[in-house]
Structure 1
Amino acid sequence: MDISDIATREFVEVDANKRLGKVRAIFERENPKGIIVTEDGEYVGIITQKQLVQSHVEDDAKAGAMVRSAPKVERTADVRKVARVLVEGGTKVAPVFQGEELWGIITEDAILEAVIENLDALTIEQIYTEDVITVREDTNVGQIVNLLRKHSISRLPVLDETEGLTGMVTRHDIVDVVVRDMNKATRGDRSGEIERVLDMPVYDIMNSPVETADPSDSVRDAVSRMLEHDFAGLVVTDDVNHVIGIVTKTDVLRALTYTEEDHMDVQITNISLLDTISRADIREDISSVADKYQAMQVQHAHVRFHEHKEKLRGTPLIQCQIRLRTNKGQAAGSGEGYGAEMAFNVALDKLERNVLERKGVQADEEYRGQLLRKLGEL
């Protein structure tokens, strides 16, 4: 199946000179995955909801000020390849071209709808993300925005005093409440209105109850529910409603790109941020860490880069997150540095400590088992 079978020619398009306030209103009203920006009829780039939440750009600025590049996809590209392009580009939508002409767009939802019947073989336990950032019901919206920006994520589970799951807050929830209240306020009142919104507890805007999933559920069932309710992800919980992970549409797309190649498959999100380090370097360094724990076989590695605004002599501060999916569970490490290579090395050091700590725990468990067996023989 190539991408032309599932791409659409219907998409939201704005001119680069349109005010950002109007663009924000489009997201609030229509909730598109992304908006295509053109200038004089020519493709310029896209604007995503994520950008608007992370931006301090005023409503009077032009859409062109917020444009970001998105990976271009050919009409004849393979679906699996396009899934990788979306994941590595850190986007949910990409423009589809026929030669030099913008033909349409492809979204992650369209890909998932096309492959959903083939997802019964996977369970959530095989693909979900274990390390989840959570917040409490009294966390204010300003803190939520900072967490979404810092970790470049789209949703946060909300917990009560007993660590039980009570709600979920997403980027769209924040955009919705901000745009709604800005529309009510006059221009002079807007600064105070923004402050009021940022001071609100998340309890006032979160979604509740929350759609959850069990680790043993099929991925097909999870995707079906995500598409039906327009959720980007589901919280994975244990028997007592404690959060143990999250599974997102991006996790499913990433699973579609797993390969059976001889070497370890490494997937990199925001690959454009790589400067003095290559994919081959990253694969080699991660392999050297994994080899220190021989019993751990790495099935897939995901390396995610995120650029902050801060710079040092022109080099941006980068956050790097490394996550390994192995036959012994997940292992992860994260870190920051100026430039992708420094950030990756800091994250790799953290990953190595976590892997060696896991090895120590395993050794302790084996020793305990041996001791119990010896005691049983007495």
Structure 2
Amino acid sequence: MNIVDIAVPEYVEVDVSERLAKVRSIFERENPKGIIVTEDGEYAGVVGEKQLMRSRMEDDTKVSAVMKSAPSVDRHEDLRETARLLVEGDVKIAPVYEGEKLYGIVTVDQILEAVLDSLDAITVGQIATEDVIGINEKDTVGSAINRLRENGISRLPALDEDGHLVGVVTTNDIVEFVVRDQERQGSGDRAGDIDRMLDIPVYDIMSSPVVTATADETAEAVVERMFDNNVSGLVVTPKGADTIAGMVTKTDVLRALTFTEQDSMDVQITNVALLDTTSREHIVESIEQVASKYADMHVIHAHVRLHAHKEKLRGTPLIQCQIRLRTNEGQVGGSGEGYGAEHAFHVALDKLERNVLEIKGVNADEEYRGQLLRKLGEL
């Protein structure tokens, strides 16, 4: 299946010189999945809500300061390859070309709508992220912004003092809050207003009640729920409980579309453009070497996520790397930071191997206890 019937010629377009004030108002008014940025009529990049959260930029900043490069897609591209390009580019929208001409756009939602009927074979438990970053409902909006930016994520479950799930705060919540406040207060010196907004507690802007999912539900059911509630992710909770068991997003579902049944390990790298002195081949080989040490642990899929911080050392950015393996024995991951993608990857890889060893040790202990109990029962 290709995207010839999915891509659409309708999209929102702005020039690189456009001010962020207008871009923010477009998101508020039209709620697009992304905006195509052009320069002299030619494609230059895309901008989404996550780009608006990167820094506290003033309204008169040009959109070129926050736009992101997105992979271009041929109108006849395979759907699975298109899904991979969106995931690895960490974007929700990509320009679609017909020959050398910009035809339109393709979005995550368009792809998921096209394959919705086939998602009943995938469960939430197979694709959800178990290691979830949250925030206390009494923490400030400024803290939420920092946590979102530092971890390269778009949503935070909000918890009360007892660890119960009470809400979710997203980049969209924060953007809408800032836009509404600016429209209400008008123009002028914004420094004091920004400080005041950053000190507001999360519970004043979070979404509540929380739209949730359970691990045994199908991807089809949860994607329909996301569409119905106009959200991009759901908190996974145990049945009948208000604690957090994981998070499932549209990107997680999109990533599942790229899984293959071939002999080689399926590895995805989000923000692949950050690779500097290393290569995709080296990353795949390194993960396969770790997996091959534990023959009875079958790795179904590996996901490597790279995220660049502003801090640099002699021009090399501080990179956060997260590795997550989906195996026949559950999820296992490792994370680490380093200057440059190669350094960060190997720090995370070392942590991953230690965590794999810990899982194997626990399983070995359980097997030993089982054998011991069986022997005792024979006495």
TM category (shorter chain) comes to over 0.9
Q: Which residue of 2 aligns with 1:307?
A: 308
Q: SS at 1:131's partner residue?
A: coil
Distance 2:343 2:350 in 1: 11
Q: Which residue of 2 aligns with 1:99?
A: 99
Q: CA deviation at 1:26?
A: 1.2
Q: Which residue of 2 aligns with 1:268?
A: 269
Distance 2:285 2:129 in 1: 23
Q: What are the Cα deviations for residues 315-370 of structure 1, in whole angstroms up to 9, with x where unaligned?
A: 11111110000000000001111111000000001101100111111111112112
Q: CA deviation at 1:189?
A: 4.2
Distance 1:168 1:303 in 2: 25
After TM superposition, the structure 1 = structure 2 runs for residues 1-378 of structure 1, keeping only pairs within 5 Å, are 1-239=1-239, 240-378=241-379
Q: What are the Cα deviations for residues 259-318 of structure 1, in whole angstroms up to 9, with x where unaligned?
A: 111111111111111112111211111111122322210000000111111111111111
Unaligned residue ranges in structure 2 (runs of 5+): none
* Stretch of structure 1 that moved more, 27-36 or 98-107: 27-36
Distance 1:38 1:4 in 2: 23
Unaligned residue ranges in structure 1 (runs of 5+): none
Q: CA deviation at 1:186?
A: 4.2
Distance 1:332 1:351 in 2: 5
Q: SS at 2:177's partner residue?
A: helix
Q: CA deviation at 1:184?
A: 2.3
Q: CA deviation at 1:192?
A: 1.2
The letter for the 2-side match of 1:64 is S
Q: What are the Cα deviations for residues 234-279 of structure 1, in whole angstroms up to 9, with x where unaligned?
A: 1110132211101110000100000111111111111111112111
Give the number of equivalent residue pairs. 378
Distance 1:12 1:130 in 2: 35
Distance 1:347 1:110 in 2: 34
The letter for the 2-side match of 1:171 is T
RMSD of aligned Cα (Å) = 1.2
Distance 2:354 2:138 in 1: 34
Q: SS at 1:4's partner residue?
A: coil
Q: SS at 2:190's partner residue?
A: helix
Distance 1:160 1:353 in 2: 32
The letter for the 2-side match of 1:106 is V
The letter for the 1-side match of 2:56 is H
Q: CA deviation at 1:231?
A: 1.0
Distance 2:319 2:336 in 1: 8
Q: SS at 1:331's partner residue?
A: strand
Q: What are the Cα deviations for residues 202-228 of structure 1, in whole angstroms up to 9, with x where unaligned?
A: 111111111111111011101111112
The letter for the 2-side match of 1:121 is A
Q: CA deviation at 1:29?
A: 2.1
Distance 2:343 2:296 in 1: 29
Distance 2:79 2:186 in 1: 47
The letter for the 1-side match of 2:320 is Q
* Stretch of structure 1 that moved more, 39-48 or 346-355: 39-48
The letter for the 1-side match of 2:322 is Q
* Stretch of structure 1 that moved more, 165-174 or 281-290: 281-290
Q: What are the Cα deviations for residues 51-74 of structure 1, in whole angstroms up to 9, with x where unaligned?
A: 111123321122223222110000
Distance 1:135 1:61 in 2: 30
Distance 2:154 2:65 in 1: 22
Q: SS at 1:209's partner residue?
A: coil
Q: SS at 1:33's partner residue?
A: coil
The letter for the 1-side match of 2:196 is R
The letter for the 1-side match of 2:154 is S
Distance 2:250 2:278 in 1: 28
The letter for the 2-side match of 1:290 is A
Distance 1:202 1:334 in 2: 27
Distance 2:323 2:115 in 1: 27
Q: What are the Cα deviations for residues 156-192 of structure 1, in whole angstroms up to 9, with x where unaligned?
A: 1111222221111110000011111122224444211
Q: SS at 2:32's partner residue?
A: coil
